Chains A and B, each alone.
Chain A
Amino acid sequence: MKELMLMKGNEAFAEAAIRVGADAYFGYPITPQSEVMEYLMAEKPYERTGMVVLQSESELGAINMVYGAAACGKRALTSSSSPGISLMQEGISYIAGSELPCLILNVVRGGPGLGTIQPSQSDYFQATKGGGHGDYRLIVLAPSSVQEMFDFVSLGFELAFKYRNPVMMLSDGVIGQMMEKVELSEQQPRLTNQQIDELYPWATTGKKPGKDRRIITSLELDPSKQEKHNLKLQEKYRKIEASEVRYETLQCEDAEYLLVAFGSSARICQKAMDLGRAKGIKVGLLRPITLYPFPYAIVEQLSNQVKGILVVELNAGQMIEDVRIGSHDRIKVKHYGRFGGMIPSPVEVLDALEKQIIGD
């Protein structure tokens, strides 16, 4: 029988962490995602599954705890919001450089600086283009419902361990705070230490007699070896780009105009699309689910079909750069965004489509 619950996005993420058999959560409170740790502490997963939950001294502490646990082959995760994620960039770069799997949730709020506690999507560049120092990529998943806040925890860990790469869920204050019905999956057991030893020959679990010691590091002072390491990372990213693109299209079959949006913006655009269709405008919606790897191919394909694209984001125009790359600028690609915590209405989006793309 289906297990259904009415939950906040942040709570769904926390419950999913327990149910997928995560080993450890480390975090530091910040609005609008503090419910994640509050939920975990209230649920006592250390009693339910043996999962560790620890409130760290800072986001720096939290991400480095994730590093330590991930380097042991454990399923480790953290969550934060924009200013906290900025603080974590050092650790994320080390985790990517050391090729460790982990899951990081960013419930984005408006910036720059202390910004606001209201929703935003202004961390797109940071999430998809690197964020910290060095040439690296995160696999970035963009949930647009509370159900996906739950489901992407399992998917996130699967991808993280498949590629030994950090995965980020790029959510926002809307998705984190709103309540929706969630279908819960069954409780998965945590891996035993023996299973970890067998599955992850790279994990530091204590040197076994007669076996080589295991070292987790991102340091290589010999430039030729460091270049080789970088080439290996790049090869991995090409593999991810070839295999892991995910997106959703709605009413694109006959579309003459296209909205492209992710996360909460995609929800608003879905309504705008319905309003447009009711007015007789043939508009479709493309929702990238993986922001890295970005679905360039479907953008290119739809660019051969539609007359113009409106990219709707809660920022000043970030994903639009990837949409332009995908469309090769063959057709008109415009941006409509609100920022600083402001959220456009569906009518506003349709208005922008009519003014910037159709009427122009």
Chain B
Amino acid sequence: MTQNFDIPEIRTPENLVYKKTSVLTDNVLHYCPGCGHGTTHRLIAEVIEEMGIQSEVIGVAPVGCSVLAYNYFDIDMQEAAHGRAPALATAIKRVYPEKFVFTYQGDGDLAAIGTNETLHACNRGENITIIFINNAIYGMTGGQMAPTTLPGMLTSTSPYGRDVQMMGNPLKITELLALLPGTYYVTRQAVHTAALVRRAKKAIRMAFENQKLNRGVSFVEVVSNCNSGWKLTPLQANKWLEENMLPFYPLGDLKVNGELVKKSE
């Protein structure tokens, strides 16, 4: 039985406290309920709207769950081959230096098949923004092991857990990229709580604002869940993320204004 939640007498201008940003289209997101992609899309779109740069942005979509990202952003976008988004973004920014250019990539795309393109775009110091969704799994293809899959973590191609002796170690690519001279801002965020969503939005805003400075890559990792791939409910997935992902991928800035952030411990 379906219930009608739309009560017109409540939907009045004076009661309006939240409105979808105009930089998102009206297309229904295909992402699983509870997934961090939708939230991150919204944050990027809000930042673009608030900066007033909708006509100045060119985005690059990856291959992975967010392969159809261009259906949701109301901006000009290009669809890249798996892993190649930073190469496209490099060229776009080089031929249109005055535009804002960003890539949106998952962990398989950015940290496995596209490691070379990512690393060299970052090392050359391309003046672009990279948004990196890390959910430690290949979501679209059905939950296979990713470069960021945690040791012992169950996936469809590590059904007994990731055995690092046999399958190799997870790659902390964000830590690696922070060491390169071409990165200007490197941060790790999450979007599974309201407070973290607000913080992530500030980071994304800074990552776009930085393009005005022409100082190199601004890189925002978003540690996300994948409740379908992790075979958990959305709430369980968020709890699992807190307990397992965040100790391995701690949140916070790694590099700000071109300087590595010193850890207090």
Q: Is the CB of B78 within 8 A of A54?
A: no
The answer, among B56, B60, B84, B94, for a CB contact under 8 Å with A206, is B56
Per-residue CB proximity of B190-233 to A under 8 Å, as 1/0? 00000000000000000000000000000000000000000000
Q: How many inter-chain contacts with C-beta < 8 Å in the A-B complex?
A: 129
Judge if A141 is at the interface, Cβ distance under 8 Å. no
Chain A residues positioned under 8 Å from B54 (CB to CB): 207, 209
The answer, among B57, B61, B74, B90, for a CB contact under 8 Å with A68, is B90
Q: If the complex has contacts A26-B91, A66-B91, are A94 and B77 also in contact, measured as CB distance less than 8 A?
A: no
The B87-101 residues at the A interface (CB cut-off 8 A) are: 87-92, 94-96, 99
Q: Within the complex, what minimum Cβ distance (angstroms) separates B91 from chain A?
A: 3
Q: If the complex has contacts A57-B120, A214-B76, A215-B70, are A68 and B81 also in contact, measured as CB distance less than 8 A?
A: no
Judge if B158 is at the interface, Cβ distance under 8 Å. no
Judge if A118 is at the interface, Cβ distance under 8 Å. no
Chain A residues positioned under 8 Å from B55 (CB to CB): 206-209
Q: Is the CB of A213 within 8 A of B78?
A: no
The answer, among A52, A60, A215, for a CB contact under 8 Å with B79, is A215
Q: Within the complex, what minimum Cβ distance (angstroms) separates B150 from chain A?
A: 29
Judge if B179 is at the interface, Cβ distance under 8 Å. no
Cα–Cα distance between A66 and B120 once the two chains are bound (Å): 16
Chain A residues positioned under 8 Å from B56 (CB to CB): 206
Q: Is the CB of A213 within 8 A of B74?
A: yes
Judge if A76 is at the interface, Cβ distance under 8 Å. yes
Q: Is the CB of B80 within 8 A of A204?
A: no
Judge if B58 is at the interface, Cβ distance under 8 Å. yes
Q: Is the CB of A67 within 8 A of B120?
A: no
Q: Within the complex, what minimum Cβ distance (angstroms) separates B217 from chain A?
A: 14
The A18-55 residues at the B interface (CB cut-off 8 A) are: 23-24, 26, 52, 54
List the A residue with the shortest CB-CB distance to B75: A207
Q: Is the CB of B120 within 8 A of A74?
A: no
List the B residue with the shortest CB-CB distance to A193: B96
Q: Is the CB of B77 within 8 A of A216?
A: yes
9 shortest interchain CB distances as A-B pairs: A68-B88, A68-B91, A217-B79, A64-B87, A57-B120, A204-B76, A65-B91, A64-B84, A69-B91
